[in-house]
Amino acid sequence: MTMLDDDRLAELFGRAAEAFEVPESGIDEILARAERGTTRGDADAGDEAGASALSGGLEADDGAGDTAMTDELTRRRRLVTVAGRHRILSVAVVAVVVLIAAGTIGAVVRSPSGPTLSSLRAVGEKGARPGGVAGPAASTTLPVLTPASPGPAFAPGAASPNSSSGTDARTGAQGQSAPALPPGAVGQEAKIEQTGTLELTVKKGDLTRTMTRLTNLAGSVGGFVANSQSQNGTGGGSAYGTISMEVPVNDFASVLKAAEQFGKTSNVSTNATDVTGQYVDLQARLTALEDSREQYLTILAKATSIGDILSVQEQLDSIQQQIEQLQGQLQLLTSQTSYSKVTVTINEGTPPPHPGPLPESGLVQAWHDSVGGFVAGVEGLVRLAGPLLFALLCLVLAAVGGRLLWRRYQRHRL
Amino acid sequence: MVEAQLAEWLEEGYVPSFRTACLILGNRSDAEEAVQEAFLRAWRFRDSLTDVPSIRPWLYRVVVNSCYSKLRQEIPHRDRRAGDEPLSHVAADGAGPEASAERGEVADTVLAALARLPLSLRVPVVLRYYADLSERDIARAIGRRQGTVKSRLHEARRRLAADPALSALATFGDGKDGAGDGDGDAVAGEEARS
């Protein structure tokens, strides 16, 4: 720099500064105010800037200077002034306090015994079992329905429980009042219909041998083969066969287990249906009809006219017919609960594709999709609420920190 | 710290502090208020002056921070008043109209050049070339490292040299005033050194 060297610059600055007239009484007024001790208002006005301007030693003296400042009104006014100067900071502090208070209140108000989303979902999953009974947990559980343990005593009012892909069967018995039981129903042994399905994959050429072994297995436990069907692998397809066995209910589990050993098991399902209620109902109706028949027989013995005799005889025939129908149903139930049906599908090589569930109609599917979408939306909102609250808190903290850093940066930049 | 001694220092430092504030703020009334607040604050914290190694940088630091407060808090939020024109109170030292006009022109040019500098450069250059503080004292006064002060001074000089009006004034002053007119820096230097 040739023209503006340091001396020239100092000269120009000096001449420019001289253009400002110095207040004549400036320093005298300052000293007078300082000595009179009337500096409080001025010092307070510039206290904030002074705190950053002066060294740490000076800041330490701030408390001593404020010792006389005990007036509550002045303090409040000062607080309001500071809050007004730092509006963003004040809003941020208030927001953080409100969030913390809301969180605390929420944590306190939330009942620990109330149902939570996870518990509801867990209940829903339990209730959504195929064939199961939705609602609260069953009060009675039928353990493994093996012949050795035929199950507990009669559960009144139990719905027909079904279980699949497992050996447990849960009843849907609830804590509701049971209907009046017919005489002799108490202590009635549970009548359970059991069916099982098994898919086996055997080596090529073992189809016939496996079906023979299964037939022998059924015969060895006192059962029989109700249906059998096989097809050779013509036209390039693999051979497969199906065999339905009726085995005594006591041997159901052992037969199923033994059959699993005959090949590679790809799918096992069991189904148990409690028909105890139906059985008891049939028995009760049968007993009542038998009582009616006895009464009609008594009337018939006392009848004198032909018309009366014919009329009573007609009623007796009707009752007798109903009795025989009920007896037939009882025998069928007894047979079904005495024998369990085991259906084994045997494939050579790869098993055929498992047929999926039947497609629902468009309207039903749309309704299910709609309900599912609504529930998913609500769950998503609830799930998002927590992270959003956290993000909001982080934003507030970031805003506060950024504000402080910005102020500091501005101060340093000066 | 003895109050009488501080009072003496304040009395001696009032004029250079006031004019330093004028050059930083570019406004007489603002500078007067800033220096008043600074001195009252200095008086308030007089007890801690025993820890201060040197009174001059400390006093300038208080003044500079008071100017910062003015620029940051008050001036941006108020309307410009008619009486706040930068040179509304040009010193009348008995010189003739021509001399006053020339002085006003110099002051206008310098203040305009300073106003174009950012505050981070304006303060060091004023402290250096008007208050005659060393780089070390400037670093104390603005609370920055000495290397930072050096680089800021370099940048400020570069910008001022690139200012056409100021360069023209320097060229014109070289021819007209010569070396004999050293009132400005002589006064400032003496005031500062005092």
- We report the CATH number of the domain holding residue B57 as 1.10.1740.10
Alpha-carbon distance values, A233 to A101, A178, A236 (Å): 74, 55, 6
Q: What is the DSSP string of A113-141?
A: TSPPHHHHHHHHHHHTSTT---SSPPS-E
Compute the distance between CA of residue A379 and CA of residue A121 in angstroms, rounded to an integer.
Answer: 11
Q: Residue B88 falls within a domain, yes or no?
A: no
Closest listed residue to residue A220, CA positions, set A264, A271, A254? A254
Instruction: Note whether B105 and B173 are same-domain residues.
Output: yes
Instruction: Note whether B72 and B120 are same-domain residues.
Output: no
CB pairs < 8 Å spanning A and B: 213
Residue at which a domain ends, from B76, B106, B139: B76
Q: Residue B175 falls within a domain, yes or no?
A: yes
* Closest chain B residue to A411, measured at CA: B68
Q: What mean pLDDT, rounded, does chain B reach? A: 75
Instruction: Note whether B63 and B123 are same-domain residues.
Output: no
Instruction: Note whether B65 and B102 are same-domain residues.
Output: no
For residue B144, what are the domain limits? Answer: 96-182
Contacts of A19 in chain B (CB under 8 A): 87, 90-91, 103-104, 106-107
Q: Residue B23 falls within a domain, yes or no?
A: yes
pLDDT at residue A163, rounded to an integer? 39
Mutate to test the interface with B, among A7, A13, A85, A413 (most CBs of B within 10 A): A13
Compute the distance between CA of residue A93 and CA of residue A98 in angstroms, rounded to an integer.
Answer: 9
Instruction: Note whether B130 and B69 are same-domain residues.
Output: no
Percent of chain B surpassing pLDDT 70: 69
Residue at which a domain ends, from B76, B110, B132: B76
Q: Residue B84 falls within a domain, yes or no?
A: no
Tell me the per-residue pLDDT of A313-341, one tens digit each, with 9 for 90 and over: 898 999 999 999 999 998 888 888 888 88
Instruction: Note whether B104 and B30 are same-domain residues.
Output: no
Query: pLDDT means per 10 residues in chain A (414 residues)?
Result: 72 84 77 65 42 38 41 64 70 81 74 43 40 36 36 39 39 42 58 86 85 88 87 73 88 87 86 86 91 90 87 90 91 85 84 59 85 91 89 91 82 58
Contacts of A86 in chain B (CB under 8 A): none
Nearest to B91 among A19, A60, A413 (CB): A19
Q: Residue B187 falls within a domain, yes or no?
A: no
A82 touches chain B (CB under 8 A): no
Instruction: Note whether B101 and B169 are same-domain residues.
Output: yes
Tell me the per-residue pLDDT of B12-33, one tens digit each, with 9 for 90 and over: 888 889 989 988 888 888 888 8
- Work out how many domains chain B is built from and give that number: 2
DSSP reduced 3-state for A241: strand
Q: Is the pLDDT of residue B82 over 80?
A: no
Instruction: Note whether B105 and B174 are same-domain residues.
Output: yes
Q: Residue B102 falls within a domain, yes or no?
A: yes
CB contact under 8 A, B14 and A22: yes
Q: Residue B82 falls within a domain, yes or no?
A: no
DSSP reduced 3-state for B23: helix
pLDDT at residue A6, rounded to an integer? 82
Residue at which a domain ends, from B29, B44, B76: B76
CB contact under 8 A, A13 and B23: yes
Mutate to test the interface with B, among A15, A52, A66, A408 (most CBs of B within 10 A): A15
Nearest to A39 among B10, B40, B181 (CB): B40
pLDDT at residue A276, rounded to an integer? 86
Q: Residue B188 falls within a domain, yes or no?
A: no
A167 near A270, Cβ under 8 Å?
Answer: yes
- Could you count the other beta carbons within 10 Å of the beta carbon of residue B102? 17
Instruction: Note whether B71 and B116 are same-domain residues.
Output: no
B64 near B127, Cβ under 8 Å?
Answer: yes
Q: Within 13 Å of residue A201, how many CA atoms lie on the same side as its CB?
A: 10
pLDDT at residue A75, rounded to an integer? 67
Instruction: Note whether B126 and B56 are same-domain residues.
Output: no
Tell me the per-residue pLDDT of B42-56, one tens digit each, with 9 for 90 and over: 888 777 776 666 777
pLDDT at residue A330, rounded to an integer? 87
pLDDT-derived band at B151 (thresholds 50, 70, 90) equals very high
pLDDT at residue A133, rounded to an integer? 37
Tracing tokens 């002589």 back to the chain, one arrives at B186
CB contact under 8 A, B110 and A413: no
B156 touches chain A (CB under 8 A): no
Mutate to test the interface with B, among A2, A8, A11 (most CBs of B within 10 A): A11
Instruction: Note whether B161 and B104 are same-domain residues.
Output: yes
CATH of the domain at B100: 1.10.10.10
pLDDT at residue A116, rounded to an integer? 41
Instruction: Note whether B72 and B103 are same-domain residues.
Output: no
Contacts of B68 in chain A (CB under 8 A): 49, 53, 411, 414
